[in-house]
Amino acid sequence: MKTIMKTIREKIEIMQAYERGELIENYNHGEWTLCENPMWNWGYADYRVKPKPKYIPFDTPYEFLEAQKEHGVEVKSTNTGVVCCAFVDSQGRVLLVMNGIRDELNHVCKMFDDYVFLDNTPCGKQILTEK
């Protein structure tokens, strides 16, 4: 059993996150597991807010193509909310098409800076984080 002494403030923040609908994990048998109905037995268990995935820009347009298999070809601008289709052409350029108008991005990093997939996942690759 992993026991970490949390301050009262830390405990309150975790419980408030649960009240807001965030996912909570507890430390169980050597690993963090999802805890749908926490008992808040701080003397017996350790709790935390489930860490959110972290993303970084794609290195290549081909990584973007792989991500589209999961998220689809439509993306939306984080600035304007405009939805468009994104493609990689035969020369490896990322092209955005909206209402028949084509725009070429000068670098795939612009996807991360300016667009998200329609499920609000960043247009970037997920990096492994601490469990």
- State residue 99's pLDDT score: 80
Backbone angles phi, psi at 49, to 5 degrees: -75, 130
- State residue 63's pLDDT score: 92
How large is the average pLDDT for residues 81-104? 86
pLDDT digits (tens, 9 = 90+) for 10-40: 999 999 999 999 999 999 888 999 999 999 9
Bridge partners of 115, per DSSP, are 77
User: Whole-model pTM?
Assistant: 0.66
- State residue 1's pLDDT score: 45
Cα dihedral value 115, 81, 71, 31, nearest 10: 80
